[in-house]
Amino acid sequence: MTDLLKNRRLRDNVLQLVFVGGIALMLATFAVTGKTNLDAQGLTSGFGFLEKTTGWRIGFSLIEYDTSSPYWLAIVVGLLNSLLLGAICLPMATLIGVTVGVMRTSGNGMAELVGTLYVEAFRNVPLILQLLFWYALLLSLPNPRDAEPILGGIVMSGRGFYFPALNVLGSSVVVSLFVVLGGASLALWLQAVRWRDADPASARRERRVLGGLMVALVVLAMWLGRLPETGLVSLPELRGLNYQGGVRVAPELMACIIAISVYGASYIAEIMRAGFNAIPKGQGEAGHALGLTRWQILSRIRLPLAIRIVMPTMINQYVWLFKATTIGIAIGFADFFMVISTSIVQSGQTLELIGILMAGFLIINYSLAWVLNRVNDAIRLRGSQLRI
């Protein structure tokens, strides 16, 4: 008997069995308890509630939505809002972050100082605090009657920012967004699969065709979504107490954009700085020896190398930054999380909605990571004989 106990193979199998069994037991307990509680409260389980009307408003929506819309539409609105926030904040954070990162490694003392001040100021304060701060700041802007338009059409007021806008339906904008994203993804995939090893002239031709197709589709979407009897662009005009026309970006959305972009940028700047520092000095020296200017060395040698070095870390950072968009609930921005939590409060279908919430985030994060990993593969340095 003791011999059996000492057998390593047997031990390994028993351990695995116990582990898997323990987890299964835990999940089974959850399922049984959950079912009992649901029955006791007389709630029906299942996803039928998604067809029911919500009866409540959503502050910001890209597509048509009102109080008589079903739950599933509300969830879609929340999802689109989260995606919108992500689509705006991630590129902005990258832009600001890369700039600050370049500043911090530029060699110019003043630029480095400003970069350091930026990073330390925004990295050491919690995101939610920054969000509340920006929101309070935006709300304290003068109200529309007293606000002066700047740059010939942009108004910053306590009720929101007004921008000149194209007179098209929201759904056209969404479609265009999808076209751009889809086109970009397609381009990246083709780059890795076809264009890298293909003849440059034909690759360039195919690139032009894809670009033209994307532009055509966007223009078509805009044309079809044109609002009747209006010009192409509408400018915000003061009528009475408020501005009419143009597009109004609510303070909630604006605060979220500013806070998440600025916070994310401070982390990206640090990552970029690490990337720049990881580039051997010999690269810059070779550039100088060849007679390149500092800007050329930066833009054509150091920056591309730094991006390739930090890509895996950046992927984690982007996934994390997208998750940070849930913070919108603190100031009432109707992102995915807030819509789900309101639905839970209103409909009581807690378990199903939590399941939808988790599934949603898992799908989005895995997709994001997958796309970025394709990008990483496409731009990765090739070969194993590298000596840099």
Partner 1 sequence: MTDIVPPIARFREVLSKDLRRRYFATYTDTAVTLAFAALVLWVLWGLLDWAIADAVFSADGREACFQTEGACWSVVTNRWRIILFGLYPFEEQWRSAIACITMVIVIALSCLPWFWNARRLPLLWISGFASFYILMRGGLFGLTPISEREWGGLALTVFIFAAVSLIGMPLAIVFALLRRSSLPWISRIMALVIDTIRSLPLLTIMFTFALVLPFVLPGWAIGDTLYRVIIGYALFFACYQAEIIRGGMQALPAGQEEAAKALGLGYWHRVGHIILPQAFRNALPPTINQFVITFKETSLVTIIGFFDVMASGRAASGTAEWSFAVIEVYVFLALIFFTFTFSLSRYGAHLERRLSVGRR
Partner 2 sequence: MSDIAVRIADMNKYYRDFHVLKSINLLVRRGERIVLCGPSGSGKSTLIRCINRLEEHQSGTIEVNGTVLDDNVDHIDEIRREAGMVFQNFNLFPHMTVLENCTLAPILARKLPRAEAEKAAMQYLERVKIPEQANKYPGQLSGGQQQRVAIARALCMSPQIMLFDEPTSALDPEMISEVLDVMVGLAQDGMTMICVTHEMGFARQVADRVIFMAEGQIIEEASPVEFFDSPKSERTRAFLGQILGH
287: left (phi over 0), alpha (psi -120 to 50) or beta: alpha
**Token reading at 285:** 């020296």
CA gap 189, 105 in Å, rounded: 32
The least distance separating partner 2 from the CB of residue 18, rounded to whole angstroms, comes to: 17
Tokens for 332, please give them.
Answer: 């009432």
For the bound state, the minimum distance from the C-beta of residue 185 to partner 1, rounded and expressed in Å, comes to: 20
φ/ψ (deg, to 5) at 159: -95, -5
Q: Is 123 in the site for partner 1 (CB under 8 A)?
A: yes
Residue 127: alpha-carbon gap to chain centroid: 15
Choosing from 62, 88, 180, 344, the residue that interacts with partner 1 (CB under 8 A) is 344
Q: Dig out the tokens for 283 from the structure.
A: 């690269």
Quick one: 134 or 243, whose CB is closer to partner 1?
Answer: 134
Place of tokens 């293909």: 198
Candidates 60-68, 160-168, 234-242, 320-328: pick the segment binding partner 1 (CB under 8 A): 320-328
Of 9-48, binders to partner 2 (CB under 8 A) are: 9-11
Alpha-carbon distance values, 181 to 184, 305, 339 (Å): 5, 25, 24
Instruction: Specify the stretch interacting with partner 2 by CB under 8 A; choose among 5-13, 100-108, 290-298, 349-357.
Output: 5-13
Least distance between partner 1 and beta carbon 181 (Å)? 20
End-to-end Cα distance, the chain: 60
User: Minimum Å distance from CB 121 to partner 2?
Assistant: 37
Query: Which of 47, 56, 223, 366 contacts partner 1 by CB under 8 A?
Result: 366
Binders in 17-56 for partner 1, by CB under 8 A: 19-20, 23, 29-31, 33-34, 37-38
Three-state SS annotation for 30-91: HHHHHHHHHHHHCCCCCCHHHHCECCCCCCCCCCCCCCCCEHHHHHHHHHHHHHHHHHHHHH
Choose between 37 and 230: whose C-beta lies nearer to partner 1: 37
* Binding status of residue 8 toward partner 2 by CB under 8 A: yes
Query: How many Å apart are CA 19 and CA 180, to the nearest integer?
Result: 46
Residue of 73, 166, 357, 375 that binds partner 1 (CB under 8 A): 357
Catalog residues that contact partner 2 under the rule CB under 8 A.
3, 6-11
Catalog residues that contact partner 1 under the rule CB under 8 A.
12, 15-16, 19-20, 23, 29-31, 33-34, 37-38, 107-111, 113-114, 117, 120, 123-129, 132-133, 136-137, 140, 294, 319, 323-324, 326-327, 329-330, 337, 341, 344, 350-351, 354, 357-358, 361-362, 365-366
